[in-house]
Amino acid sequence: MEPNEIQFWLEILNIATISALSISTIILTVLISKKNTGFNEIQIREIINNAFYKINESSNNLDQDPSNITYQRIFFSHVECYLNIYDDLCGTYLDGKIDKKRFEKNYKDELINLVTDEMFKDYYKPEDQLKSKYKKTLKVYFKITDSDSPREKLLNDNSI
């Protein structure tokens, strides 16, 4: 195969993967909008794990060829899909569509790790968290932790 042809198929694979993760996010939203049962929780966990697996898979490809623009795009697309899944999940928490105590029990540590992880710092904008596009995740993070920062502004922002 020619290098351009390989590049083309990698772009197609990226589009397919992003579409699959987007569908996962839609499924997540539907599952959460229904009564939250143990089965739904398992499905939510599976969606999160699948998205994380995609990050690791694309990271391995990127490690093999760090200058490959397609590998870079795929990796960053997977990261954004992963973060979007958590942001959607946090949105359902804020809307009261899931059991908040159970959510905090199941996801508090994950959210703390996610928001404070060095890998994701640019997405959560530590220098100005009010400009992050993942405000729902940050709002829940500040709500379930006693973290300082622009906590009050995010907690009182009803547009999120």
State the pTM of this model.
0.72
CB 70 within 8 A of CB 11: yes
Q: How many Å apart are CA 158 and CA 160, to the nearest integer?
A: 5
Chunked mean pLDDT (size 10), the chain, 160 residues:
61 62 58 56 86 92 91 92 93 88 90 90 77 89 74 59
Task: Centre a 10 Å sphere on the Cβ of residue 121 and count the other Cβ atoms it contains.
Answer: 12
- Report domain extents, the chain: 3-155
